[in-house]
């Protein structure tokens, strides 16, 4: 977005007035309330009036949001820096690119067949026992999406127990292996390249654990990868290699075979409903005018807060224990996608890009960081996510949960005056409320798709490429060099800014080694 448009938006936003003034002029502000795909979205407590909203829509039109979504769904090259299509539309039957859709469907059917065999006891471990536990080994998009979806779908899980291991810290895998048996455990190794350091380190340890227990490891391994030939060479049978593609970014990959562990937990019918919910939202995004388009308006509001109003972070607070991993999932989706400092053409970005995304569940977080949200010096927009239908066994407890959500939204907006100061709440703090009518597979799919598309909208408004992640690479490359030096005990002659720290570490490590 060019600086003139940003400055114009900032000028208009400076005269919007407080939330109290906005509601005094329009007590419902229902033009900022949208309903789509089972999600009720209330943006009325954002610092937006009609004039600013119209200018935000004009900004979206100026970067041709609608045409960009059409191009993405058609399989066009959208990821310019890597010259790739961005194909998550094809994973749930929303793409007009027949070749991509056919590839996605083929792998989905293969995943359904293998998952049904595992759930039904047809696929057994090497000693003839049925699989009772599945350990998903992956990191980043191969972990955060599946972890979030598996927890959210707790009430629909009737298959093997699912465990997740991501960290190269041996304690993570150790703790998992202590709870499972080799004869009944299957490992899903999820890595796009099948070379990811953390994932393959854990995979090698898992394979050794199986073989040391007398198992034929091949029966206990599944690969989810864009490099099936590498996986076969590593030791995974070809029929147990599920393929996804370089046009699927990791953080957008839950609807691909990366979701295989979730599929094994909830079964084909429920996983299919998850994909249908994504398709519902895809269709809404493609067919709905910008002003009524949930993902577009959501993206505009996030962009308003981060780029126009220059608020550096946003707190995502799900009032649902089952959605407790949603903030971590959104951290990667938003910050890896939009945490960029150059435009798609390589020129420097002058405005803020991705906000810091953080959060935790309500009501727990009310007793942790809400003090700062209400009375701190920083204005942090809050995104509340709730569910109308109860997800636990106690209806009154669920009513109390949602009562707290609504009360916090009101308290942030309205505040409370106190002459002595310590009990003064300034109010005028923005928040959005997203309410799902139920936490079902279909509604979860719609919510995930909405966030994916909102992320893309924000990136287009920022003028960046949301679909690459070069910032992930540098630290990984340097870590390999550092690891080699630490293993040898000899540091490179090239002095770095961490050289003194590495020297100290080697001395400290030497003290722990056997004499």
Q: What is the pLDDT, as a whole number, of residue 475? A: 86
Per-residue model confidence (pLDDT) at position 419: 85
What are the phi and psi torsion angles at 158 (to 5°)? Answer: -135, 15
Residue 2: the pLDDT is 79
User: What is the per-residue pLDDT for 257?
Assistant: 97
Cβ distance 467 to 79 under 8 Å? yes
Active site residues: 336, 367, 476
pLDDT of residue 495: 85
CATH class of the domain at 88-272: alpha beta
Euclidean distance between CA atoms 341 and 2, whole angstroms = 14
The secondary element (H helix, E strand) that includes residue 84 is strand 84-85
For the chain (515 residues), the mean pLDDT of every run of 10, in chain order, is 88 96 96 98 98 97 96 95 95 93 96 98 98 98 98 98 98 98 98 94 98 98 97 98 94 97 98 98 98 98 97 98 98 97 92 97 98 97 98 98 98 94 94 98 98 98 95 87 92 90 94 85
Task: Please list, in sequence order, all residues whose beta carbon lies within 8 angstroms of the beta carbon of residue 382, skipping any fewer than 6 positions away.
Answer: 314, 315, 316, 317, 373, 408, 409, 412, 429, 430, 431, 432
Q: In this structure, are residues 246 and 256 in contact, taking their beta carbons and an 8 Å threshold? A: no
Predicted pLDDT at 131: 98
In this prediction, residue 477 carries a pLDDT of 87
Q: Spelled out in words, what is the top-level CATH class assigned to the domain 3-63+288-415+456-468?
A: alpha beta
pTM of the model: 0.97
Helix/strand/coil for 246: coil
The rounded distance, in Å, linking the Cα atoms of 493 and 15 is 59
CB 303 within 8 A of CB 52: no
């Amino acid at each position: 977005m060019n600086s003139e448009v940003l400055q114009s938006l900032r000028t208009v936003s400076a005269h919007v007035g407080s939330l109290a003034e906005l509601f005094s002029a329009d007590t419902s502000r229902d033009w900022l309330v949208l309903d789509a795909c089972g999600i009720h979205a209330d943006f009325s407590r954002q610092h937006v009036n009609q004039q600013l909203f119209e200018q935000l829509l004009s900004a979206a039109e100026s970067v041709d949001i609608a045409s960009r979504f059409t191009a993405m769904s058609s399989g066009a090259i959208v990821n310019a820096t890597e010259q790739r299509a961005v194909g998550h539309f094809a994973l749930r039957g929303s793409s007009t690119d027949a070749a991509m859709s056919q590839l996605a469907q083929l792998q989905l059917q293969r995943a359904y067949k293998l998952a049904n065999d595992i759930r039904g006891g047809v696929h057994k471990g090497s000693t003839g026992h049925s699989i009772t536990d599945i350990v998903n080994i992956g990191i980043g998009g191969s972990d955060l999406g599946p972890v979030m979806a598996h927890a959210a779908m707790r009430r629909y899980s009737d298959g093997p127990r699912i465990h997740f291991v991501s960290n190269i810290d041996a304690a993570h895998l150790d703790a998992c292996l202590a709870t499972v048996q080799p004869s009944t455990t299957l490992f899903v190794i999820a890595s796009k390249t099948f070379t990811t350091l953390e994932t393959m380190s854990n995979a090698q340890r898992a394979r050794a654990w199986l073989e040391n227990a007398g198992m034929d490891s091949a029966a206990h391994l599944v690969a989810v990868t864009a490099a099936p030939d590498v996986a076969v060479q590593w030791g995974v049978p070809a029929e147990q290699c599920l393929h996804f593609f370089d046009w699927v970014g990791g953080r957008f990959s839950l609807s691909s075979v990366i979701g295989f562990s979730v599929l094994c937990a909830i079964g084909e019918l429920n996983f299919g409903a998850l994909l249908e919910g994504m398709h519902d939202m895809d269709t809404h995004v493609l067919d709905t005018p910008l002003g009524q388009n949930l993902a577009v308006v959501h993206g505009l509001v996030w962009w308003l807060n981060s780029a126009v109003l220059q608020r550096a972070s946003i707190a995502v607070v799900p009032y649902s224990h089952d959605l407790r991993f949603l903030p971590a999932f959104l951290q990667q989706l938003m910050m890896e996608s939009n945490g960029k400092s150059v435009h798609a053409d390589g020129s420097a970005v002058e405005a803020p890009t991705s906000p810091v995304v953080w959060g935790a569940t309500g009501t727990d977080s009310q007793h942790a960081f809400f003090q700062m949200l209400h009375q701190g010096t920083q204005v942090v927009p809050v995104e509340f996510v709730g569910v109308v239908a109860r997800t636990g066994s106690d209806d009154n407890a669920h009513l109390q949960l949602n009562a707290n959500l609504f009360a916090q939204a009101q308290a942030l907006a309205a505040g409370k005056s106190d002459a002595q100061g310590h009990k003064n709440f300034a109010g005028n703090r923005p928040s959005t409320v997203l309410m799902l009518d139920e936490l079902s597979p279909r509604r979860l799919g719609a919510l995930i798709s909405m966030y994916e598309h909102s992320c893309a909208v924000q990136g287009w408004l920022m003028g960046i490429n949301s679909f690459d992640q070069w910032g992930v690479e540098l630290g990984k490359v340097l870590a390999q060099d550092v690891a080699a030096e630490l293993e040898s005990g000899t540091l490179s002659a090239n002095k770095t800014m961490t050289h003194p720290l590495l020297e100290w570490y080697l001395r400290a490590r030497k003290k722990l080694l056997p004499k």
